[in-house]
Amino acid sequence: MGNVVGLLGRGFRGKRSRVFQTPSNPCYPTLRETLDKVLILGSGAIKVAEAAEFDYSGSQAIKAVKEEGLKVVVVNPNVATIQTSEKLADSIYLVPVEARFVETVIERERPDAIMLGFGGQTALNCGVELYKRGILDKYGVKVLGTPIQGIVKALDRGRFRETMLEYGLSIPPSKPAYGLNEALRIADEIGYPVMIRVAFNLGGAGSFIAHSPEELKINLEKAFAQSPVRQVLVEKSVYKWKEVEFEVVRDYKGNMAAVACMENFDPMGVHTGDSIVVAPSQTLTNREYHALRSASLKVAEAIGIIGECNVQLALNPFSEEYFIIETNPRMSRSSALASKATGYPLAYIAAKLALGYTLPELVNKVTGRTTAHFEPSLDYVIVKYPRWDFQKFRGVDCALGTEMKSIGEVMAIGRCFEEALQKALRMLDIGLEGVESEHYVNVPLNDLLRDIAKPSPDRVLKIASALKRGVDPVEITRITGIDTWYIYKLLNIVELERKLKAVHKCKNEKMLCRVLKEAKRLGFSDDRIARCLGWSTSQVREFRRRHGIVPVVKQIDTLAAEWPAATNYLYVTYGGEEDDIRFDAKKHKIMILGAGVFRIGVSVEFDWCVVELAWALKNRGVDEVIVVNYNPETVSTDWDVNDKLYFEELTLERILDIYEKEKPEGVITFVGGQIANNLALKLEKMGVKLLGTSGKSVDIAEDRRKFSRLLEKLGIPQPSWSEFNDVEKVRLFCKEIGYPVLIRPSYVLSGSAMKVIYCEEDLNEYLKKYGDIIKEHPLVVSKFMHEAKEVEVDAVSDGERVFIGAVIEHVEPAGVHSGDSTMVIPPFDLDEKTIETVKKYTYKICRALNVKGPVNIQYLVKNGKVYVIECNLRASRSMPFTSKATGINLMELVADVLVHGRLKLPANVKCYLPKVDWWAIKSPQFSWTRFRGAVPELGVEMRSTGEVASLGENLYITLLRSWLAAAPNRLPERDQYILLAVDNEDDYNILSNNLTRAGFKVIKGNPENPLLYKLLREGKVGWLISTSTDKEDSSESTSKLKRLAVDLNIPVILDGNLAKFLVEAVHRAGNPEIYEVKSLKEYWRTRKNA
């Protein structure tokens, strides 16, 4: 247990924190008694640096407020979230979190108060704008929690600096700047290198380290573009200092507690969202810990926090000198991590504090033993590890720095650092079995050491490879700035791997047992051990079970065993002797596998499916719903959502461990996205009972040849396709069916090697780049239907009948990934005959596959003919959208099928599609600005990070509202130019004429015209519409124009169909109808009353 001495030796072990007295607010204790209705602002779409952690915090805030008997109104266009579910808030508005729209909601709902701290930077910025415009005063809306003045003190870089100095807190030498010349002057005064921080921002957007005036000039315009007040802080760089974070709660009386201390594995210079984070702190001395804790509490006092804040500090590794870097006066990504890591419900407590409670008055609902005026102590280690998806983007800079770039994160729990780290690497779902040291054995050592000096996603593996080759840990610390303690922990793993490879040669079974037991304690998987020993995984499993080497289940004990724990947070470890809980085999139990780490393609939509299904099963009499998930951002990993939560790996080994202990009646894999679905057949083969559609049916749907034969048998058309292991046969087939074709490796669903090929030259380029793949995996070539419509269906079947939630039509044509498409319910351009054909094919496929649960089927429509392209026997990304668009929760129907065996449809109804009398439109959210150098483009590869939606009576107004809800989309000003980079002459003329009639100035987007770049930099461009096809090596590519536009936060529209819709909508933008909003329930009531 040496790894947790960091906290046990110097943590607070339940001591009450120091109280800072502040002038009391006599009205605050009685404030909640004067309230009837509270408005909570959400964070909008999932984007890099503002993700599902705000669904967690917003959902907890709603529950905390509802407990007081108050009504809750939520404004959040993120249709995939739990907080926009009817079970939580009283009124939900899917509209942009923007002052004009929120004012409309305030005018309709007349809330007494507003909460700004649970919707990320989006909510804070909107709240400040509402205050500045006088809207809050106009309607008498009180701000609950940290007041606006405190928010501005924290977010305005100049005010923050002044406040810290006023309170005697150390900060790096710095000054705010509002222009290039001012920034250059300050940098000269401070001395290079300097850190540039952006005001009123999060995730480090636009921030960078400049080592020279030239570097400052190049990057500063993007930094200013990322600040809504065009302010940056020029600060002396503290690169390679230790980075430490504290989560602090504070009530209106000044009572405070430092709930969590989290230490970054990576030093300053890597954004904390892109850094490995460890809790409790492992390398701080007692003096350092308390100095930083005291400073963090003082920051909360200085800002006037009421609720929760995150304080970031830099610590000189060679002295006790430290600086305050910044604070977030709201719930944050780190807050969600800290909440799950410690078992302290930060968002719930913060909401209660905003309502006027004090910390000593509140009970920690997770432990049930302590008040909220308590600092947790941990007897375990957690490791947060980020996940990046750089492979999705052409031209992207993969280097890590001060701007956050990761898409998702995992949280692993272990009894030592090594165990937690290796778990975390497996949780990333990128094919790693842990700290694998062999990946860079062929890289020359000097090159490897040079690479290690630069932060990168795979730096841990490179360090392990260097250690394996004998590099001194002290030298690696000198190169990287990573504390030597962590390097020695990596060396422990490398050495144990060496022992495993050596021990299999001897025949001493006792020695093998000892080494294997130690390997399991340090987090080695059975698969990894098997590779080291030259055994099969099943041999390793059988051997360790025979010798009693089995894991135990432990509780997340925030009390470090000082009092009995009452949590339902569980983890599995080999660092213990007995289970902390008893397992009741008599209970009616069902286990649900969660979505795991978020990545492009798997996000909060699947967490919505997990949570809604868990609730629905409980409502139908299931005694115990057990969820397995390890994503700290999610609602499904909250303490009050499920009967039991295993914060654990979604691997075959770990699910079998839990299954054998819990003995549930069955396991559900179809709501957890890609990871869970991939486990289905493996689990079934190991004797695990799966609930829902059979593994055999899943295999038919996923095996292209089997599914193709089924479609032929059913008489359902499909695009021509074939599979090849020979390059020449690929060429012949392409000529036979004609270009364009879609080509991809057989094992990839939506990988970087998937591409639309328009001619033989394109095919030659593709084969030159990916030709080696064919040696291991066949290439699948299918006819690509140019300009076909894409349509999809979300449905639930009980094996005999089918409930179709919606037929969804895409605005963008086939060839744009469905996740990047604008989706419309009901179809806007399909005739009744086509819709009936889609219904008929859906019913036939569901019957043939005996589907018992959710299903998503994707279609193409061209020249009146309907083709099937894909069938997924699982929940889909669009199911939350379908459910909220229609007011019919598909997960409730799935629960009916699982528990009762049938859908609640009349006996004579075989296939049902509900009618909706309004429009529901979902738009994608891209995070282009976060991926430096990446080419903004659409294609068969998904690149969006989130989604938003809106409902309305008018198609164009609804589409515009939905599109405006995705950042940085906005309407162009009348004096701004619209740049048109459109290859198709007819499309260009249509768009140009319509924009001119609307009063806009149009310029042809010729990338060789230097004037265009000047206009972009001067803020004179409102939109860039670019539908041109880029060639990777073309000097006339519009990529440069698009890249500059996204760097400057200028909206870029990448599809001609969408552009035409939006241009038509712009004609109506002055119409007050765009701000005439309704809550979700008002639309649903219309259907129910019909």
The alpha carbons of the chain give a radius of gyration, in whole angstroms, of 28
Please check the confidence at residue 17 and state whether its pLDDT lies above 50.
Answer: no
- Shortest CA distance to 34 belongs to which of 120, 167, 144, 138? 144
Please give the average per-residue pLDDT across 859-885, as a whole number: 96
Q: Which helix (H) or strand (E) holds 114?
A: strand 113-115
Query: Alpha carbon of 521 to those of 427, 460, 525, 818, 1073: distances in Å?
Result: 17, 20, 10, 43, 62
CATH topology of domain 173-237: Dna Ligase; domain 1 (3.30.1490)
The verdict on domain 789-917 having CATH code 3.30.470.20 is: yes
Q: Where are the domains of the chain?
A: 31-151, 173-237, 435-507, 558-698, 720-783, 789-917, 928-1075
- Residue appearing with tokens 């265009």: 1012
- What is the dotted CATH code of the domain comprising 31-151? 3.40.50.20
Each residue of 919-963: pLDDT tens digit? 999 999 999 999 999 999 999 989 999 999 999 999 999 999 999
**Residue 345 preceded by cis peptide, ω within 30:** no
Position 13 scores a pLDDT of 28
291-311 confidence digits (pLDDT tens): 999 999 999 999 999 999 999
Residue located via tokens 């993969």: 398
DSSP structure string for 1007-1075: TT-HHHHHHHHTT-EEEEEE-PPPPTT-TT-THHHHHHHHHTT--EE--HHHHHHHHHHHHTTTSGGGG
Average pLDDT over residues 1008-1013: 92
pTM for this prediction: 0.94
CA distances from 682 to 429, 631, 651, 657, 900 (A): 16, 22, 10, 14, 26
**What average pLDDT score do residues 833-839 get?**
98
Average pLDDT, rounded, for the chain: 92
Whether 148 has a pLDDT exceeding 80, the answer reads yes
Q: Identify the CATH number of the domain defined by range 558-698.
A: 3.40.50.20
Domains 558-698 and 928-1075 share a fold: yes
User: Is the bond into 96 cis (omega within 30 degrees of 0)?
Assistant: no
Identify the pLDDT of residue 695. 83
Residue 914 DSSP one-character state: -
Nearest to 272 by CA among 223, 338, 215, 210: 338
Q: Which CATH class is domain 928-1075?
A: alpha beta
Is 896 or 997 the better-scoring residue by pLDDT?
896
CB 291 within 8 A of CB 246: no
Return d(Cα 314, Cα 279) in angstroms, integer.
16
- State the Cα–Cα distance between residues 415 and 576, nearest whole angstrom: 8
Q: What are the DSSP calls for 453-511, one per residue?
A: TS--TTHHHHHHHHHHTT--HHHHHHHH---HHHHHHHHHHHHHHHHHHHHTTS--HHH
pLDDT for 26 equals: 38
Which stretch, 198-202, 431-435, 998-1002, has highest mean pLDDT?
Answer: 431-435
User: What distance lies between CA 492 and its chain's CA centroid?
Assistant: 32
Nearest Cα neighbor of 952 from 15, 330, 104, 2 is 104
Residue 1047, token pair as written in the block: 């760097």
CB atoms under 10 Å from CB of 82, counted, come to 26
State phi, psi for 743 to the nearest 5 degrees. Answer: -130, 140
Query: Cα–Cα distance between 513 and 543 in angstroms, integer?
Result: 9
Instruction: Band the pLDDT of 474: cuts 50, 70, 90.
Output: very high
Whole-number pLDDT of residue 256? 97
Question: Would you tell me how many other CB atoms lie within 10 Å of the CB of residue 496?
Answer: 20
- Mean local confidence (pLDDT), 206-225: 92
Taking the C-alpha atoms of residue 153 and residue 142, their distance in angstroms, rounded to an integer, is 19
| pLDDT classification of 1069: cutoffs 50, 70, 90 | low
The reported pLDDT for the residue numbered 1086 is: 73
User: Residues 569-584: what's their mean pLDDT?
Assistant: 95
Scan for tokens 């030597």, then name that residue: 484
pLDDT per residue over 19-77, tens digit each? 333 333 435 666 788 999 999 999 999 999 999 999 999 999 999 999 999 999 999 99
Tell me 47's DSSP state: B
Give Dmax (Cα) for the chain.
86
The two structure tokens encoding residue 133: 């415009």
* For the chain, percent of residues with pLDDT exceeding 70: 94
Model pLDDT for residues 104-131, shown as the tens digit of each residue? 999 999 999 999 999 999 999 999 999 9
Q: How far apart are CA 299 and CA 305, in angstroms?
A: 9
State the pLDDT at residue 53. 95
**Residues 738-784 pLDDT 10s:** 999 999 876 554 445 788 999 999 999 888 888 777 777 788 899 99
For 360-391, how does the pLDDT look when each residue is reduced to its tens digit (9 = 90+)?
999 877 666 678 998 998 999 999 999 999 99
Give pLDDT, residue 1088.
55
Q: How many CB atoms lie within 10 A of CB 371?
A: 15
Give the pLDDT band of residue 10 (cuts 50, 70, 90): very low
User: In the predicted model, what is the mean pLDDT of residues 717-722?
Assistant: 93
Q: Which of 764, 769, 728, 762 is nearest to 745 (CA)?
A: 769
Architecture of domain 720-783: 2-Layer Sandwich (3.30)
The predicted model gives 893-918 an average pLDDT of 95
The three-class DSSP label of residue 764 is helix
- Give the distance from CA 817 to its chain's centroid: 19
| Residue 23: predicted pLDDT | 32
Residue 459's closest CA among 495, 431, 435, 491?
435
Phi then psi for residue 1032, to 5 deg, are -60, -30
How many CB atoms lie under 10 A from the CB of residue 1034? 12
**1085 pLDDT band (50/70/90 cuts)?**
confident
Q: Rounded to the nearest 5°, which phi and psi values hold at 1082?
A: -65, -35
Phi, psi for residue 648 in degrees, rounded to 5: -140, 170
| Helices (H) then strands (E): counts for the chain | 36, 38
Residue 1031 in this model has a pLDDT that exceeds 60: no
* β-strands 232-236, 755-757 pairing: unpaired
For the chain, the first-to-last Cα distance in angstroms comes to: 65
Q: Does domain 435-507 have CATH number 1.10.1030.10?
A: yes
3-state secondary structure of 246: strand
